[in-house]
Structure formats: C-alpha cells, structure tokens
Structure 1
Amino acid sequence: MNHIELHDRDQDVRTERAAVPETRGAAHFARLMARRPDEALSGVRAASPQMYDWLVNGPFAGPLSGSELTMGQRELATVAVLVALGDSERQLAAHAAAALSHGITATELRGIPLHVSVYAGLPRALNALTVIDRVLSQTGSTDPSFLHRVLLGDHGTTVAHAGITGPPVVLVHALGLDWRMWEPVIDRLAVGRRVFAYDVRGHGSATEAPLPSSMKDLATDLFDVMDALDLDRAHVVGLSYGGGIVQTAATLAPERVASMTLMATTNVAFETFEGRARSIEQDGMTAQVAPSLARWFTSDALAVNAWGVRYARGCVLRGDPEHSAAAWRAFQTLDVEGRFTGFGAPTLVLAGERDVSTTPEVMSRIASDIPGARYAEMPGTPHMPTLEQPSLVVKALDEFLPRDPATTQ
C-alpha cells in the first residue's frame, strides 16, 4: 500500500468518525460545557480515540448527567474540586467558562477560591483565582468592587466602592438583603461617579451592631458612613427600607443630601410591618422565604431562578431573626410624610410597574409630597428592580445623577 493509499484511508477513518451519530454523552457534554465535545476535546480525540470515547460516553453519559444537581451547581462543584486539586489550569478555565454559561456569576466564581483556601490552602486558591480572573476578563466581566471595613458610632460595617472620579453616590439597600443587592448596577453607575454601598445595621457584615430602635438610628448610620468616607454631601439612593432611611436622613440634615433617589419605598409605615416582625419571631426565617420572594420578584424571575433570586433567598435564610424583627419595628417609626416643605435637592421617585408592595400609586403619592420631585415608572418591574431589571435602574439613574464631565460612557 503506497503513501497516497494510506493517506486516503486515514481520511476515510476521520470522515467516518465525524459521521458517527451524536451520543447521549456527546449531547450532554455540549449542554453542560457549552461546546461540542469534538471541538473541545479535539486534541484528546486525535491522541486517543479510546480516551475520548470513554470520557464522552462514560462520565458525561453517566454520573455527570444526572438530575441530582442543576448544570450550574454541577459546574460550580467542578470548579471547587479543580481549585482544590491544583495543577489543572486548562480544565479550570474550561469549567469556569461553562459555569458562566449556566448563570453562575462572576461573584460566585470568585467566591470559590476564597472558600477553598480554608480547606486546600492559599497557594492553590491564589493560582486558581488568577485563572478565573483571566476567564472573567475574556468574557467582559468588570472588576469586583473594592471592599473595606469602616467603624461607625457603635459598630462596624463593610463598604463597597466603585469608580475613582466624579460626584459621590451612596446606595442604601432593602430590608433583609445587604450591599450586594446593588452589585448588578454599581459598576455601571461608577462611570464618572464614585459609588458606595454599605451593609445597613443588622444586615450582612453588620449583624454585631446593637438593634435599631428607630429610623433615626439608621439615618445616623448613613451620616456616619458618609463621615467615614469624608463625604460632606452625597447623592443618596435608597430602595424600600433604604428609601425610608434616605428620606429620614434628608429630613434631619437636608444640607448633606445633594440629590435623593427613592425606589420601591414608602413615606409612611404600613400596618403589615408589625405582623412581619411577629412572624419572624414565631415562625423563623425559613417561613419568610416564600412570602418575601413572592413580594419581591415576578413569577417569571422565580421560575428562572437566576442569581438575583438565589441571592435574595440566601439572604433571607441567613438573616438574623432578632435583627430582622427589629428592622421591621424600626421601619414602623417611619414618619416623613409632609416634612419636605422647602426641601430643595433634586429628587427622583422611581416606581416599578409590577411592584405589589410599594405600588405606582404609593410611589406617585411620595413624589407629590416632595417639591419638584420627578416621577418615573419602570415597565414590567417588581419590588426588587436591581435584581430583576438592573438595566432599567441604570438607565434611570444615569439620566438623573450627575457625573464627571471628563468621562464618557
């Protein structure tokens, strides 16, 4: 047999392999890894067809294809194992990219090396973080917000910071969550602005704080955060509970508020607040998950179960019952209606069309109570707009908040 015949035979073999019908393992590989196996494993296939066949039609048709874990959970578990093993840069990069394709976020991926460092050591965790950060850069992910610890009057908290120039903006989160509620928008708002978000007393990293007794306590905390950041004035943005805090602060020291944005909030206490506090004390935090998420998200978002829903569910389950009940009772002391006569700072009142808690009717009444306030409504948006419709939030705030004129979008 001459050289040409050998070449033709090899070509026939390659064509025959390529024409093999897709197997169950190959189909699942493509779903899990977001790449066809003959493309992702072309080197393996060329070097050892037996290894290729075993890998695709063994693990990917068997233990890696079950319904015990979602594909996102499976990829996150794989990333953790590869971080712990070390010496697996190529595989780690491939599975980190696959995790992103299944809705795992940059924050969740970056959290894996931090978690694994406790069990497998810092060298492996640091090497893995380099690989993951490279994958995130290739996919256009923004850098994480800078976090630092600040001491307030009677407790410490975490402040996230994005942006290096421009007017300061302080974001105040909703009851039951923490500063990460703003994560889907903070970097996009930080173009030409310095944007800060902190954990409110009793939430996130601030659960060692004394219990709040009133909204005035929480407004004082906001001023203490601004003092710690050397901010005499700031553009303050509050959502739900955070909106109550911002309004209270604006009535106590309007000179410190450069502008005010209120989202999904109220200017009077609701009768339901005490009932929610009692439910927490009597039934615990697990019982709060279903009613909270039903108020916060649309049914479509709950069905998809993307990061915002997963994050919110986790926050509720991890919440400290004593602090959560105290927060609802502090919210009961909200009393700002009719107290904005003479308030001169620009104000944006931003409602969600599908908010069942603080409806457009509630929000429009707030706008009418504040001189010169601008009212806007986000279509199709529920009570947690930053977690379900972040692009609409960014668009509205970009149009309202000033920025350093030297920067461009």
Structure 2
Amino acid sequence: MNRSERGRHEYEGLMGFLPENGLGEVLRTSPQMYETVVEGAFGGALSRPELSRRTRELATIAIVAAAGGAERRLASHVRGALRQGVAPSELLALCEHVAVYAGFPRALDALVVVNEILEEAGIPPQPTLHKVALADHETVVAQKGDSGPTVILSHSLGVDWRMWEPVMERLSHGRRVLAYDMRGHGSAAGAPRPFTMDDTARDLLGVLDAFDADTAHVVGLSMGGGVAQTVAVRAPERVASLALLATTDYPFPAFEDRARSAEADGMEAQIVPTLTRWFTPEALATNPWGVRYARERIRRFHPADWAAAWRAFKGLDVQDRLASLAAPTLVLAGERDASTTPEIMSGIAERIPGSTYQELPGVPHMQTLENPVQVAEALDAFLPADR
C-alpha cells in the first residue's frame, strides 16, 4: 500500500467517506493541496497507530477550536469524532477543556459548532442539571421531560447519574425523569460519612421533595436497587412502582473486602476487578463510551467515599420485609450478570408478591452502559406514561 492508498484508507476510516467526496472542492481547485492532505497528512502521521482514531479526532478538535476561525473544518472533525464513538458528553467536556487553556471566546465558538452537529445528527439535548440541597450535602439532579409521572433513577455504586443517560431520552416520553448523584458519588463526593442505607433512602426522598413529587416510580440498579428497596420498605406510600435492576436484597461478604481494598491499595487496584464484574469481555475489548466512563469514574473516586459506600451497602436490610410490598414491581436481570446473577434476581422476584421477573439475553451487570436499548425498552413497557 503506497502513501496515496494509505491516505485514502485512513481518511475513509476516520471520516466515513472517500477523500474525493469530502475534499472535492480542494481536489477541483488545487490538486496539489489535495495530494498534500491525503498523501502527506492522512497517508503519513495520521495513519500511524500510536494514537487511536478517536484520540486523534479529540486532539484535532481541541487544536482547531483553540486556533479559531476554521469552523467548517471543526464541524467536519466533530462529525468524524462521532463516527469514532466519541460521546456527546465528551465533546461538550472538550469545549470546557478548551475554555481553560485557550479562553472562553474560542470555547464558546466551538460549543456552537458542536451543538449544531449534534442537532444535525439527531442527538437529543443533554438533560437539564439542577443543584439540590439535601439535609447534609448538595447533589446534582439531571432532568429529562417536564410532565407526566415522575420517575427517579438511582445509580450503581462507583459511578454517578450519567449511568442513566443512555436510557433517559426514551423514558422521558410522557414522563418526568430524574437521575441524581448518590451521596459520596459525582457531585455529592465528600458528603458526610459514614452513612447508612437509611441515609441514602432519605436522600432519594429529599430529591422527590425538592421536585414536589409526593410519589414516584423508583428505579435502581445495583446499590441503587438497594436504595430503591430501602425506600420501598421505609416509605411505601411514596413509591408508585418499583423497578429493580441487577441488584440484591441482602449484602455479600465481599462488600467489606472491597471497602478495605480501596483503603489499602487505592482506586487503581479497583479498576480491573470492578470492570470485569460489570461488563462482558466483548465490551472491555472494544472499549465503548460506557466502559470508558465507568473506568474514569472508578479511577477518580476517593477511596474513603468508596469504602463508605460499600459499608453502607453492607448494611442493606430489606429481605424480610419484601413480602409486604404492594407497589407494582419489575425485577430486571441480565443473563450474563456475574455479580447479581439471574438466580439472585429471581429470588428477589419470588419474595415480592405479584412482581414481574424479566431476564435480558446477553446482558451483564452494568445494564444501561452496555445494553441501553434493551433496558430502555423493558422500562418503557413497565412504567406508566402520559401519551
């Protein structure tokens, strides 16, 4: 493969179409410039594997945005970044990064271009974020949808509200959907510790109070499912329905081991055992947004918050009271969940009278980050909506 062929191959792999289509005007007006771009750039440095295509597009967007005055080229590379699996939230964060190092005028111009391309691609706007003061700390609540039944989403240990972002758009059709940062997580990192599952339940109810919601459809995944169950048995009058995803109704002995490991070994040591519990080998190999997001959330976690969360989860105490639950309940298991297995999940369903058990084929523990379409479909079918 000569430089021209390598350049054509790399351009098409990056942008999704042949260079003569993307650079047709350049080819027509200056064949020499066309050759320089395709053979010199795409057939040279840009074809080297030391930087992934995704990384190169992020770097290119940052450089072009910082330089300013090349909005057409910036738009082209934003499209290329989306093609390489860069998430909208990553592009928006990149604009914030540019603001720090190149100034707000350049960053704001870049933000306009990014938003235009996201709209062009049919990507829905980001959720609206609200700062909410709870009893002893502040958190952030992401909102999608302004009317209809209120749905509140409680996330897994180790991440934050963005765990729910891949399903929020679908769920917001005819519903008001709220996803918040649990204490010790995300914007609520450093909240008072130690804390208990009862504290996390009061936090969820505090979010509902802040949005004037007397009742809500409560959805929780993993530790978030423990929070949801705790709310359901402590304040059943506030729970219109319950959806339990990849969770447990009793603590595991390993919870204390995970707390101690963070304290002794730090957060880098938590990445491999956690991600291999959460995702399939296929997802870990291809490294999509959900895996990248989860890895960074774990890496940036404060060990004391991590340990406090695991010790709170260790205090989960709901199993003996599940039989009293009257709210409609969906128990959603992943076929390939190695952490909260279908056996564990079906046991929860058996202990909740009238509950519905559903097993998602091929789905691991971190359901919304690896298989959001299947999860959104199941929740959309279960949750009532105004339509």
One-letter amino acid of the structure 1 residue matched with residue 319 of structure 2: E
1:243 partnered with 2:225: yes
Q: Normalising by structure 1, what TM-score?
A: 0.93
Q: Distance in 2 between matches of 1:261 and 1:385?
A: 13
Q: In 1, are the aligned partners of 2:283 and 2:291 still within 8 Å (CA)?
A: yes
Q: Give the structure 1 partner of residue 99 of structure 2.
A: 117
Q: 2:205 aligns with which of 201, 223, 240?
A: 223
CA distance in 2, matches of 1:77, 1:21: 23
**One-letter code of the match for 1:388?**
E
How far residue 131 of structure 1 moved from its aligned partner, in angstroms, is: 1.1
1:353-364 equivalences under 5 Å are 353-364=335-346
Report the Cα distance in structure 2 between the residues aligned to 1:86 and 1:187, rounded to whole angstroms.
33
The answer to whether the Cα contact below 8 Å between 1:212 and 1:218 also exists between their aligned partners in 2 is: no
2:349 counterpart of 1:349: no
Question: In structure 2, what is the Cα distance between the partners aligned to 1:255 and 1:21?
Answer: 69
For the 8 Å contact 2:3–2:39, the answer to whether it is kept is: no
Matched, 1:53 2:35: yes
Tell me which of 154, 175, 200 is aligned to 2:157: 175
Distance 1:260 1:40, change over 3 A: same
Superposition pairs for residues 26-37 of structure 1, below 5 Å? 26-37=8-19
Where does residue 365 of structure 2 map in the other structure?
A: 383
**Partner residue, 1:96:** 78
Distance in 2 between residues matched to 1:34 and 1:23, nearest whole Å: 15
2:57: which partner in 1?
Answer: 75
> Is 1:316 aligned to residue 273 of structure 2?
no
Distance 1:333 1:395 in 2: 32
Structure 1 residues 338-362: Cα deviation after superposition (integer angstroms, max 9, x where no partner): 2033321111110000101000110
Structure 2: segments with no counterpart, 5+ residues: none
Q: Is the 8 A contact 2:4 2:43 kept in 1?
A: no
Amino acid at match of 1:315: R
Deviation at 1:21, TM superposition (A): 10
How far off is 1:22 after superposition? Answer: 5.1
Partners of 1:99 and 1:35 in 2: CA distance: 14
Q: What is the aligned-residue RMSD (CA, Å)?
A: 1.2
Unmatched segments (≥5 aa) in structure 1: 1-19
Q: Following superposition of structure 1 onto structure 2, how do residues 127-276 of structure 1 map, counting pairs within 5 Å?
A: 127-276=109-258
CA distance in 2, matches of 1:294, 1:21: 40
TM-score, L = length of structure 2:
0.98
In 2, Cα distance between the equivalents of 1:158 and 1:203? 10
Once structures 1 and 2 are overlaid, which stretch shifts more, 143-152 or 207-216?
207-216
Q: Percent identity?
A: 56
Instruction: Work out whether residues 185 and 390 of structure 1, in 8 Å CA contact, stay in contact via their aligned partners in 2.
Output: yes
Decide whether the 8 Å contact of 1:30 with 1:37 is kept in 2: yes
Tell which structure's C-alpha radius of gyration is larger: 1
> Structure 1 segments of 4 or more deviating over 4 A?
none
Deviation, 1:119, is: 1.8
| 8 Å contact from structure 1 (residues 349, 376) kept in 2 | yes
Code of the residue aligned with 1:253 in structure 2: it is A
CA distance in 2, matches of 1:118, 1:252: 45
2:323 alignment partner, SS class: coil
Number of residue equivalences: 386
